[in-house]
Amino acid sequence: MGNSTSIDPPGDDTRITDFRPQPPASSSGIAPTVRTTENVQTPGQEDLSLANIVPVSPQSNGITHTPAPSRPQAPPRSMLARRPSRERTGGTVGKKGDGNRSDWVWENSHWTKLKANKEKDREVPKCRSGHACVQIGHYMYIIGGYSDGICFSDVYILDLNSHLWRHVENSGTVVQGRASHCCCIGPGNRDIYMFGGSGPCWGRTNLGDLCKFDTEKEEWSIMPLRGQMPPPGYGQSLCVYKHRLILFGGTCGSFFYNHLFEYDTKEQVWTRLQAQGRPPNPRYKHQAVVVGDCMYVLGGGQYSPEEGPMDIHCLDLEKMVWTQQDLGCMAPQARIAHTCVVDEARSQILIFGGRSASEMKLQDLYAWDVEKQELSMLAGSGPEDVGPPGREFHCACFFDGQMFIFGGSTGTRRMNDTWRYKLELAPPSLQVLAAHSLLQHVEDIEELRGRLAEEVVECLRTLRPNSFQFTAGLSR
């Protein structure tokens, strides 16, 4: 394998060998470049040798970050399929600056930074990266993550209508704190499944448990370990397809994987899967989503992604055949630790942020149309007041024509901010305008009880300023 070099990262007495020359040292220690080994399986052949895995530094967990360079420049729009322009003009609602009138105006940007409503029994999650999220109904569940040497085991729920956070107290089985784990919704849209992740000692505290969170009982349980189980590790992806969970890729801290595993939620047993065609290279912190009968694997890499464009691979879950999508010259730059969500109404996958091969923290947003196989750039680089700052190891979900992102790292700091991207802009409804006008003259909504119908009062409580629902067509 050529020359062997021993690396002794600061604070870790585990020596990793067979690394090539290292990139520049970061503030968190040495992050070696890894040797690439490609895994290509022929139909019906199962190769369990080390040819299926690639060595990686234990520092390559993606949670200790290096300082971010200047903001990346968006690719020339001439390289991308453009969407029809959307009209963004809108008039003011009331006279801005008049204390007796509204100072809210119609939105003129697709991006909006959302403010939380803090109440006594509700709180915003701490700043974090490497967390995961799952959307069920109009709720986004934030699970785990890392900050300041601690891996969290907490669960927070964000109401995507009222913009209220709620912390879920641990009940049932107590799960271990973790980061860079993978989560997905289960069959029936009630349970959340979580696999793997790592504690703060990367590569030595890997987890290989499959946990289930019942969103109605708000309780954790540990699923039985049976069958051909995936190895403990982090940076994998997990998707639901019918009654099965499909796990792909990841790392154990010493090697990267590109294997496939399936968990049957009915039989509660793991099985290693074999597929025909050329699979994606071994990788971690990619994204995988299911659209129809296909699972799409987007981006990812080893400590850093390879130079060049991002790749998208499709696995037909009925035929079990891999194919690589042809992006041509439209492909954005390669990235890891980004997020992808599915817009089912438009049959497209939205791709946001991540880290490039040059360590840039990206803030661009793309849409991949799975039917037309066409890529569009929805938002490029810009000032922070136009869109969220570039970030990695954040989470995202999609609800009601909007993409929501939470937290992550800029490379110099972790965050707990929430941003919303609206695919279509529209002026506020008459209901919202009327409620807002009334609220300008009432300090306490409770004073209206008995004077207005009960359902109207409850509506006003929901549509108070700064809430998601109230600002559906307004921004400040």
Could you write out the three-class secondary structure of the chain? Answer: CCCCCCECCCCCCCCECCCCCCCCCECCECCCCCCCCCCCCCCCCCCCCHHHEEECCCCCCCCCCCCCCCCCCCCCHHHCCCCCCCCCCCCECCCCCCCCCCCCEECCCCEEEECCCCECCECCCCCEECCEEEEECCEEEEEEEEECCEEEEEEEEEECCCCCEEEECCCECCCCCCECCEEEECCCCCEEEEECCECCCCCCCECCCEEEEECCCCEEEECCCCECCCCCCECCEEEEECCEEEEEEEECCCEEEEEEEEEECCCCEEEEECCECCCCCCCECCEEEEECCEEEEECCECCCCCCCECCEEEEECCCCEEEECCCHHHCCECCECCEEEEEHHHCEEEEEEEECCCCCEEEEEEEEECCCCEEEEEECCCCCCCCCCCCECCEEEEECCEEEEEEEECCCCEEEEEEEEECCCCCCCHHHHHHHHHHCCCCCHHHHECCECHHHHHHHHHCCCCCCCHHHHEEC
pLDDT at 382: 65
For the cut 50, the answer to whether the pLDDT of residue 355 exceeds it is yes
pLDDT at residue 58 greater than cutoff 80: no
- Residue 218's region, left for phi above 0, alpha for psi from -120 to 50, else beta, is left
The pTM assigned to this predicted structure is: 0.73
pLDDT tens digit string along 19-56? Answer: 222 333 333 332 333 433 333 333 333 333 333 444 44
Nearest C-alpha neighbor of 144 from the set 49, 213, 190, 93: 213
Contact 183, 194 (CB under 8 A): yes
Percent of the chain, pLDDT > 70?
A: 69
> Which one, of 136, 123, 160, 266, lies nearest residue 214 by Cα?
136
Averaged confidence pLDDT in the chain: 77
CA distances to 7, 95, 256, 333 from 54, rounded to whole Å, are 16, 62, 5, 22
Residue ranges and CATH numbers for the domains of the chain are 124-422 (2.120.10.80), 430-475 (no CATH)
Give the pair of three-digit tokens for residue 36.
Answer: 């690439």
State CA 96 to chain mean position distance: 36
pLDDT digits (tens, 9 = 90+) for 151-199: 999 999 999 988 889 999 876 788 999 999 999 999 999 999 999 999 9
**Residue 333, number of CB atoms within 10 A of its CB:** 20
Distance CA 319, CA 261 (A): 16
**What tens digit of pLDDT does each residue of 260-318 get?**
999 999 999 999 999 999 999 999 999 999 999 999 999 999 988 888 999 999 999 99
| Whether the predicted pLDDT of 228 surpasses 60 | yes
Alpha-carbon 316 to chain mean position: 23
The whole-number pLDDT of residue 303 equals 83
Residue 99 has pLDDT above 70, yes or no: no
For the cut 70, the answer to whether the pLDDT of residue 220 exceeds it is yes
Q: 419: closest CA among 160, 189, 97, 113?
A: 113
